[in-house]
Amino acid sequence: MATIEEALEIERLERDIFRGASTKTQLPRTFGGQVAGQALVSAVRTVEPRFQVHSLHGYFLRPGNPQEPTVYQVERIRDGRSFCTRRVTGIQDGAAIFTMSASFHVGDQGPEHQDVMPGVPMPEDLADASTTMSPERLWAMREWEHWDIRMVPPENVSRRDGVVSQQQVWFRYRHLLPDDPLVHVCTLAYMSDMTLLGSSKVVHPDEPTQNASLDHAMWFLRPFRADEWLLYDQSSPSAAFGRGLTGGKIFTREGTLVAAVVQEGLIRTLRES
């Protein structure tokens, strides 16, 4: 299937209007990570190089057609000395399918602290998901064949008191990426939508549900490479009314906290007809 370069490819149509490529896929609707990633690439193209992405907040408004390209319209909300803000709307067939605000920062000096990475097996000690996935889920490994994804087995998940639903996932892009930090940020934005909603299903494994991302927020905290191992420490503090709230912290294998994600998704129970 598509490489990350193909998935995030955009074409500039006007000063602040871009068109994202459609890619070969098995999915019935456009993958949310691809829409968010293309929207972020569009926003990046409108800011000075000295600014780095520090956050994004997006809403998935309608299912995208994966056979059609998406047009992204960027609004320049603010250009300041330290921060700038962009709003991006993804459009198909004249209707908005995604909207996102992205904030950029030049970086400052200040106090530092971070949470400690949970103690889990290293990725080399875990099986590649493509070798352990059930036959009915193997399509996912074909869809994301350029990603090495390794689920921490439930018995090895680092449990925290009072946290009801957890899962932990190691992942990396299989191929060497350019050194440009923005490439890695946009690649991680793409990847961050993958597996996260599954943390809301950990305690409901046998309940059939319709699943979809509803909104997605992400903060980029420290430099990283998406082609090196990252641990996605995920949890779901609540599920109710057909929606699951999920969150994740992303660490390097050395234990550096590099990103944080919060997402709410649809986990609507499927009823027999």
CA distances (Å), origin 152, targets 128, 205, 230: 10, 16, 13
**pLDDT in the model for residue 130:** 72
- Angstrom distance (rounded) from CA 159 to CA 42: 39
Tell me the pLDDT tens digit for each residue of 45-57. Answer: 999 999 999 999 9
Three-state DSSP class for 102?
strand
The structure tokens listed for 216 are 């997605």
Q: Which residue, chain included where needed, has tokens 């597996």?
A: 195
Catalytic residue from among 193, 199, 227, 234:
193
Backbone angles phi and psi of 71, in degrees to 5: -95, 135
Catalytic residue from among 73, 192, 213, 234:
213
**pLDDT in the model for residue 17:** 98
CA–chain centroid gap for 167, Å, is 16
Is 73 one of the annotated active-site residues of the chain? no
Of 11-20, 55-64, 96-105, 122-131, the poorest mean pLDDT is in 122-131
**pLDDT in the model for residue 138:** 67
- Angstrom distance (rounded) from CA 227 to CA 174: 6
**pLDDT in the model for residue 129:** 76
Catalytic residue from among 42, 166, 167, 263:
263
Is 263 one of the annotated active-site residues of the chain? yes
Q: What does the mean pLDDT of the chain come to?
A: 94
Give, in degrees to the nearest 5, the angle at Cα 220 between 108 and 263. Answer: 140
Percent over 70 (pLDDT), the chain: 97
**pLDDT in the model for residue 135:** 62
Q: Is pLDDT of 65 > 80?
A: yes
Tell me the pLDDT tens digit for each residue of 102-153. Answer: 999 999 999 999 999 999 999 999 988 777 766 656 677 778 889 999 999 9
Is 193 one of the annotated active-site residues of the chain? yes
CA–chain centroid gap for 246, Å, is 12
**pLDDT in the model for residue 115:** 97
**pLDDT in the model for residue 180:** 95
Q: What is the pTM of this model?
A: 0.94
- CB under 8 Å to 109, separation ≥6 — which residues? none
Q: Tell me which amino acid residue 265 is.
A: G
